[in-house]
Amino acid sequence: MSNQSKIVLVLDDDENVRKSFIDFFDDRSWKTLSAVTAEEALEVLTREPVDGVIVDIRLPGMNGDEFIQTSRLIFPTLAYVICTGSPEYDPPKDITVLSQVFNKVFDKPCTNLNAVEEALRLQIEKCNRQGK
Amino acid sequence: MNLKKKIFLQICLLMLLIFMIAFSLLSYYLLIDHRGQEIASAKSKAFALVQTIEKIIMWYDYSELETSLKFEVENFPICEYVFIEMHGRIISYTFDDGVPPALLKLHEFMKERSEIKQFQDQNGNVFYDIAVRGEKIGAIIHYGISENEIDNHALSWLISLSVVFFVIFCVAIFLSYKFATFITSEERKKSIEIQRLQNYLSNIIDSMPSMLVGIGTDIKVTQWNIKAQQITGITPKEAKGQPLEQALPYMASKMERVREAIQMKTVCSDPRQSRVVEGETIYEDMTIYPLIANGIDGAVIRIDDVTEKVRIEEIMVQSEKMLSVGGLAAGMAHEINNPLAGMMHTSFVLNDRLTNLQVPENIRAAKEAGVTMEAISTFMESRGIIKMAERIRESGSRAAKILSNMQSFVDESKSVFSSHNIAELLDESVDLVASNYDLKKKYDFHLIKIIREFEDNLPNVVCEESIIRQVFLNILTNGTESIHERQMSEEHGAKGKKSVEPCFVFRLINEKEVSMVRIEIEDNGSGMDETIRKRVFEPFFTTKPTDQGTGLGLSVSYFIIKEKHGGEMSVESKTGKGTKFIIRLPIERMKL
């Protein structure tokens, strides 16, 4: 598959959600990494090469949007897809318009995870094109 | 008018009577008794004349004699002639051709100083001859008066008197007419005023939106207004005089309260009395007002149908509850969405692992277990496990939908209002419904014809586009389902019958005078009855099976229009004909 070597980092503080994403991406032949907090995710990013991140917004400690703002400066080709369970906790508008972030925010729970995968794949391709 | 004529006629008759008595008395006096009177006055004139004549004769001024006699005749209409006889000789007279001989013999032997004798001339005219003897000169003066003249004189008097009487009578009649007019117009004014007051009072009572029933101390109906007639179907005429419990049977249990109110002279109110009419509970506020004015005893019972108000209050209470629930839901959303996501995502992966032949890991694991993916698939299919996993996801998404719906009740101030073209919003909502329905494959939305009746030059409306779209979406979804329902039932029913073409009618009307835009969305679906119609905006009220509707869609819509936009939302419907939602949105944003 074309995604053979792509690496996804799942950032979500809910264990079952995190695991479901990991399982899903595993099955689709992604390499998967996970992080419970934004701080941990930043640490993982410095250690491992990552293509895209599934970001939850409401997190203990640093928030998802802060995480994106911080990490995108260090990793300018990193792709982000936001998947949040707090509709009232809208991410700031300036996050979704960033070229590295997929323009649609997915609500948790997602009825169709394929759509999330598709979005991540598209965003990674876009970021790679921009990086070149 | 009648009264006036009567009074006038009576006065006229009375006056006529008085005048007739007066007139007849006067005529009697003038026509019967006047001769004696005239003769008496003529006699005194004759005496006076004698004195004058005596003086003239004593002064031997005979020339004066004739002039003074003529003067007498000319100046007294009844005096016909005068002549003087002295020692059997006529010395002066006023006759043209001598003294008739009959006159000379009349007083041949006068014993008295004066004498009155009657005589007739050759024409049959009657005269009275008054003869008076002048003692000093020994002459006799004859003073002749004509009976005809006396009568003529009296008659002329009578005529002139009659004229005077007639004039007085006319004036009197005129005055009495005026008097009658005055009296009766006062009466009339009074009665008109009374009539006006009565009308005014009954108008006031009839124009009251409440049912008003007046009762006396005997608890019998004395007043019954239009509203009471409308509600009970009993006319005021029928109701008046009836005992209260007969006119209003459901008041029978309240008789004690009524008596108490009248006796104690205190206002009694019993709010929110419920009773069942034709299977529907209606609520009424009942108040008994005792009449406290002097001289009038009894009470007025006022009954207001507050069913609609009670319902609205219930909705408001629900809305308020919803507001707090909404706040709670927003806080909980994250906490609940995450476990839901855990469940649903896992179920998705579960499905994937059991059926997806493209996943290499699946094939590998199956091989290790000594089975093929196809065998596993077949097993899962036949045991319905795939469907089960799907059901888990379905239930999960319903829970998520309820959560997000509940959050719509949050009265957020961060909402963004901007100017929008309602026609465009409607069309966008139509597209949304269309794609939604295609997705569910339940019913093809494109089969529904959409008629747009938009007024020209519609102003833009300041609103929050996303939630207004949600309102339209809710209404359109409901409408589509209703149309679908009707089509289904008609298919099942009479087959030969041509069913109506399913359609929506959108109307946009500019209500300039109130600065509002009226949006009507009408479907020709199955419609609903009055009981349901009254409750459609109630939270959690739904006619759909629990797995299809949350019962929040329309109440959220109501909340959005009413509370967030300061607009109005109502619904009209007829079973089997269709439903019309009416939304009125203020063009400018209202200060809420």
pLDDT tens digits for B141-192?
888 888 888 888 778 888 888 898 889 889 988 888 888 888 778 878 888 8
* B214 interface with A at CB cutoff 8 Å: no
* DSSP secondary structure, B270-327, as one string: EEEEEEEETTEEEEEEEEEEE--STT---EEEEEEE-HHHHHHHHHHHHHHHHHHHHH
Distance CA B261, CA B156 (A): 83
So what's the ipTM on this one? 0.86
The answer for residues whose C-beta is within 8 angstroms of residue B550's C-beta and 6 or more apart is B398, B401, B402, B405, B540, B542
**Closest by alpha carbon to B285, among B295, B275, B299?**
B275
User: Most B CBs within 10 Å: which of A2, A20, A29, as the mutation test of the B interface?
Assistant: A20
| Residues B368-426: tens digit of each pLDDT | 999 988 898 889 889 999 888 888 988 888 888 777 766 666 655 456 788 889 998 89
Nearest residue of B to residue A56 by CA position? B338
pLDDT, residue B272, reads: 86
Are B345 and A20 a contacting pair at CB < 8 A? yes
Question: Is the pLDDT reported for residue B21 higher than 50?
Answer: yes
SS3 A94: helix
Block residue for tokens 């006006």: B196
- Given a cut of 50, is residue B546 above it in pLDDT? yes
Contact between chains at B343 and A108 (C-beta distance less than 8 A) = no
B578 part of contact set with chain A, CB < 8 Å: no
CA distances from B14 to B9, B25, B484 (A): 9, 17, 92
Q: Are the Cβ atoms of B348 and A112 closer than 8 angstroms?
A: yes
In this structure, the strands spanning B503-511 and B568-574 are unpaired
| Angle formed at CA B235 by CA B233 and CA B237, multiple of 5 degrees | 160
Distances (CA, A) of B35 to B23, B39, B80: 19, 6, 15
DSSP lists the bridge partners of residue B571 as B581
Q: Nearest to residue A106, comparing CAs of A53, A56, A66, A64? A: A56
Distance from CA of residue B342 to its chain's centroid?
69
Q: Please give the pLDDT value at position A1.
A: 42
Give contacts of A111 with chain B, Cβ < 8 Å.
Answer: 344, 393, 397
Cβ-Cβ contacts under 8 Å, B345 against chain A: 16-17, 20-21, 24, 109-110, 113
pLDDT tier for residue A115 given thresholds of 50, 70 and 90 = very high
Residue type (1 letter), B452: R
Tell whether B330 lies on the interface with A, counting CB pairs under 8 A: yes
Is residue B581 a contact partner of residue B560, using CB atoms and an 8 Å limit? no
Asked whether the whole model's pTM tops 0.80, one would answer no
Note whether B348 contacts A: Cβ–Cβ < 8 A.
yes
